Structure 1
Amino acid sequence: MSLKGIYKNAIVPFAIYWLLPAVLIAGVYYVTIGKFPILLMFTVLAYGLLEEIGWRGFLQEQLKSLPKFTSIVIIAVLWFAWHLNLETTPSNMIFLGIIFFGTWGIGKVYSSTGSLLAVAGVHSLNNFFRNGLHETELTLIAILLVIWIGFIILYNRKYKTSVNPA
Structure 2
Amino acid sequence: MTDKITTNPVSWKRLLIFFIIATAVSNLFRFDVFNIHPAIQKLPTWLSIFVFALLHPSGVLLGTFIVMPFLRKERRVEMSLFGTSKQKSLLMCAIPIVLLTAIGVNNDYKLENHIYAFVAIIGTIVYCIEEEYGWRGYLQEELKGLKPWAKYLIIGCLWYVWHLSFVHDRSIVHNLTFLSLLIFGSWGIGKIAETTKSVLASACFHLIVQIMMLNSLFRHSPDKTTKFVIFVVCVGAWFMIFFKWNKTRSTSN
Runs of 4+ in structure 1 over 6 Å off: none
Cα 1:82/1:148, change in 2 over 3 Å: same
Are 1:19 and 2:94 an aligned pair?
A: yes
1:91 alignment counterpart = 174
- The answer to which of 151-160 and 39-48 deviates more is 151-160
Partner residue of 1:137 out of 217, 227, 241: 227
- 1:94 partner amino acid: T
Partner residue of 2:155 out of 75, 80, 88: 75
Q: Residues 50-106 of structure 1: CA distance to partner in whole angstroms, max 9, x if unpaired?
A: 101000000010011111111111111111112212245222222222212111110
Structural mapping, 1:5-154, within 5 Å:
5-7=83-85, 10-16=86-92, 18-29=93-104, 35-36=113-114, 37-86=117-166, 87-129=170-212, 130=215, 131=219, 134-154=224-244
Cα 1:59/1:145, change in 2 over 3 Å: same
TM-score for the superposition, normalised by structure 2? 0.57
CA RMSD, Structure 1 to Structure 2 (Å): 2.1
**d(CA) in 2 for partners of 1:139, 1:12:** 22
**d(CA) in 1 for partners of 2:139, 2:91:** 26
Larger RCO (alpha carbons 8 Å, 6+ apart): 1
Are 1:3 and 2:81 an aligned pair?
A: yes
Cα 1:41/1:63, change in 2 over 3 Å: same
TM-score for the superposition, normalised by structure 1? 0.84
Number of corresponding residues? 159
Displacement of 1:3 in angstroms is: 1.8
Unaligned 5+ segments in structure 1 are none
Structure of greater Rg: 2
Displacement of 1:28 in angstroms is: 2.3
